[in-house]
Amino acid sequence: MAEILMNKKDWGEGEWLNEPGMNEIVEFDYKGYRCILVRNDFGSWCGYVEIPAESKWAKYDNYMDIPLDVHGGVTYGQAAKNKETGKEIYIIGFDCNHGSDYAPRSEAINKNLHLFAPTGIDGSSALEGKVKELQQKMLDLATSMHWKQVYRTLDYATEQLKGLVDQMDSDQIEENNGD
């Protein structure tokens, strides 16, 4: 089941067709920080930056309290170990899967919910009626939204990630100049 709708061509036409797909990692170094972009289950971009564990940004009890300006706010914060160096690090992240964001895989999943439903011996779905009801509810919800959903491209997510690093980096410079 995990392979269902993993191919971007199954998601329909859109800018995502010219970008990396599911399970493809975009990784780059920016100002000495390791930056990573991956798609979530709905095909939306998520961005992460590794910072030193001793950074002031890693000291918040709740990552949602980290006062950094990034698309949708900080939605991830986790202590970890760098696999290459073994050093303690902290990872801060965000995602482009909020109410005003278009998630390209979600529409394909909604249209194909029957693929995820358990089937009976005769091949019929035991949840067929429920699946159709859920599809209608999702359609009603989507049409009732008063904002236009926008697909956040890889370029957009990259710029957001760089902006996150710029904020941490400029704050670090100010701290060091104040010493």
* pLDDT by residue, tens only, the chain of 179 residues: 345 567 788 788 889 999 998 889 999 999 999 999 999 988 999 999 999 999 999 999 999 999 999 999 999 999 999 888 999 999 999 999 998 898 888 877 777 665 555 555 555 555 566 666 766 676 666 556 556 789 999 999 999 999 999 999 886 545 544 44
Cα–Cα dist 176/174, whole Å: 5
Of 144, 159, 135, the C-alpha closest to 47 is 159
Cα–Cα dist 118/136, whole Å: 19
Predicted confidence at residue 154, as pLDDT, reads 97
Model confidence, pTM = 0.78
Q: What CATH number has the domain spanning 16-100+151-168?
A: 3.30.1460
With beta carbons less than 8 A apart as the criterion, state whether 79 and 73 touch: no
User: What six digits make up the tokens of 60?
Assistant: 């918040």
